[in-house]
Chain A
Amino acid sequence: MNSVKVKEQVYNPTQSNNDQSNLAFPRSKTGKKKQKTLANILINYIGPITVILVLAIWEALYQTGVINPIFVSAPSKIVTVGYDLFQNGLLTENLLFTLGNFSVGFGVAAITGILVGLITGWYRPIGKAFDPFLTAMLGTPRIVLLPLITLWVGVGFSSKILIVFLAGVFPIILNTMTGVRNLDPNLTRVSKSFGASAIQTFITVALPGSLPQIVSGLRVGIGQSLVGVIAAEMFVSTGGIGYFVAQSSANFNVDRVFVGIIVIVIMGILITSSVKWIESSLMKHRVE
């Protein structure tokens, strides 16, 4: 089978282009094979390689005493301290506390945001009435509301949930509303032509039609809610990973500060990538 193919290629003048490219590739490969592959590896893994390099330099600077251990930790320290904290349950405890606040606040924000966004987008007058508040809230870092919230509801569980909620809900409202407003009027007309009631048009056109914007609203909202939960914990909490970082910093325990930050970074990455996964599974028709 293979040999036949080769023959065809040789004798068929229309495939001469293919032949050239096929020949050119192995020739250069045999010439400087080792350098080529090494360069390829470097390019393919440039991200991880850089990370390892930075970590190595960082560790070296720490070990040689160039950087002050009072202010900056080192990779090896972060690993050992992190492991200990994980072992004695302190890290898990704080992490669960944060995740609890976050999920309740963001869950409520997602449901409220989508509902309010759909309604304000669908009924223009309501949307118009809502616009000034939305603009004001989106232009402001919601964390400025923290003092007011603690005044109202104290420093407990509910204040953090409220700030997570406020941080996340506005981008979700705005995106959902924009999505509904920008629906293709042709599609709305199609559903009417099939005798759809207003509710049916809403469910079969407005909802799926604005799904891409809803999801991008959720993604923005998640980021802001994360900022909200960590900031709230730093200021008004006695638990959570944000509190842990703030406390460790007050105690000059720089290793713990670094561990906390790393945990927050990982948490952010995991949550954000889970949204991406949800996005791609919801919008199969967009792929390809």
Chain B
Amino acid sequence: MTAAKLHSDNVSISYPLKNGEEVIAVKDFNMTVKEKEFVCIVGPSGCGKSTMLGAVAGFQDISGGNLHLNGKPIKGAGRDRGVVFQQASLFPWRTALNNVIYGLELAGFPKQDRQSKGRELLKLVGLEAFENHYPNQLSGGMQQRVNVARALAIEPSLMLLDEPFGALDAQTREFMQLELLRIWEETKQTIIFVTHDIAESVYLADKVIVMTARPGMICEEVKIELPRPRPLELKRSPEFMEYEKYIWGLIVKEKEKEKQTV
């Protein structure tokens, strides 16, 4: 447990239903995320990825186990974690710059400081020329970059991204992955990244956590030992495809198991 940033120990999460029963969305989830580690969680739709991420973010209460961040149990949301949501979640009435500095505003930073910090971050995500644009004047990829910048602004010790590039076309998506890695290397963040795109997870992560469908459990933790920095061409390399095939195999095997039990 040394140097563990996040430690999840047999975490279970369930949703109560109206008829008094409950759905178990996540079961016996064990995971350790180290300082500055890039961890991806992959799994089929509905397996509980967002639920688990929500618990780490503090939106979601856990019904069993222990969930510790920096050695303390997680109780509610906080500025030590930055969240990038799956859906468009920029404030439509704020300009790009004002969206980025939202967290700083809440924290009560002086106006001068937050503006310069906001501009710095827009520059980091390559949008310094768009600070006065409203979200509806930005493309989907640009919006997600503002989203990332907004989460980075509060200098969280942990970044949580829930399928942030899910709605983007393939090319923009690859470009955003490259950008995210560059930002990660520049800012030295710890990142948990949820996706159901296997190639995306292999390309980004130090460690891929593969989840099974319902109830969401970890079926395997795959260490990705590809060298960094990782150019996009890496995706065409045999080592990369090997990882991809392996994880794909895990998910298919789980699917078949599921079919047999039904």
Chains A and B come from one and the same complex = yes
Measuring CB to CB, which residues of chain A are less than 8 angstroms from any residue of chain B? Answer: 186-187, 189-196, 200, 204-205, 208-209, 211, 283-285, 288
Closest-CB distance, B161 to chain A (whole angstroms): 12
Q: Are B83 and A187 in touch, CB under 8 angstroms?
A: no
Chain B residues with Cβ below 8 Å from A283 are 93
Q: Are A288 and B136 in touch, CB under 8 angstroms?
A: yes
With the chains together, A196 CA to B91 CA distance in Å?
A: 15
Chain B residues with Cβ below 8 Å from A211 are 93
| Given A208-B91, A211-B93; A284-B85 close (CB under 8 Å) | no
Picked from B85, B134, B136, B154, the residue with its CB within 8 Å of the CB of A190 is: B85
Q: Are B85 and A285 in touch, CB under 8 angstroms?
A: no
Closest to A207 in B: B93
Q: Are B106 and A195 in touch, CB under 8 angstroms?
A: yes
Q: Are A193 and B136 in touch, CB under 8 angstroms?
A: no
Closest to B79 in A: A195
Picked from A189, A205, A288, the residue with its CB within 8 Å of the CB of B91 is: A205
Q: Are A285 and B77 in touch, CB under 8 angstroms?
A: no
Q: Are B93 and A288 in touch, CB under 8 angstroms?
A: no
Asked whether any CB of chain A lies closer than 8 Å to the CB of B172, the reply is: no
Can you name 13 A-B pairs with beta carbons within 8 Å? A186-B87, A189-B59, A190-B89, A192-B59, A193-B83, A194-B77, A194-B106, A195-B77, A195-B107, A208-B91, A285-B92, A285-B134, A288-B136
With the chains together, A237 CA to B87 CA distance in Å?
A: 57
With the chains together, A108 CA to B57 CA distance in Å?
A: 43
Q: Chain A contact residues: over half helix, strand or loop, or mixed? A: helix
With the chains together, A151 CA to B58 CA distance in Å?
A: 57
| Given A285-B134, A285-B136; A186-B89 close (CB under 8 Å) | yes
With the chains together, A238 CA to B134 CA distance in Å?
A: 52
- Say which size band chain B's interface belongs to: 20 to 34
With the chains together, A208 CA to B94 CA distance in Å?
A: 9
Measuring CB to CB, which residues of chain B are less than 8 angstroms from any residue of chain A? Answer: 57-59, 77-79, 81-83, 85, 87-89, 91-94, 102-103, 105-107, 134-137, 154
Closest to B86 in A: A186
Q: A186-B87, A194-B79, A211-B93 are in contact. List 4 more A-B contacts (CB 8 A).
A: A195-B103, A195-B106, A205-B91, A209-B91
Chain B residues with Cβ below 8 Å from A193 are 57-59, 77, 81-83
Q: Are B89 and A196 in touch, CB under 8 angstroms?
A: no
Chain A residues with Cβ below 8 Å from B134 are 284-285
With the chains together, A221 CA to B205 CA distance in Å?
A: 56
Chain A residues with Cβ below 8 Å from B105 are 204
| Given A192-B59, A284-B134; A208-B93 close (CB under 8 Å) | yes
| Given A186-B87, A192-B59; A204-B102 close (CB under 8 Å) | yes
Closest-CB distance, B153 to chain A (whole angstroms): 9
With the chains together, A195 CA to B107 CA distance in Å?
A: 8
Q: Are A194 and B154 in touch, CB under 8 angstroms?
A: yes
Chain A residues with Cβ below 8 Å from B91 are 187, 190, 204-205, 208-209
With the chains together, A250 CA to B135 CA distance in Å?
A: 59
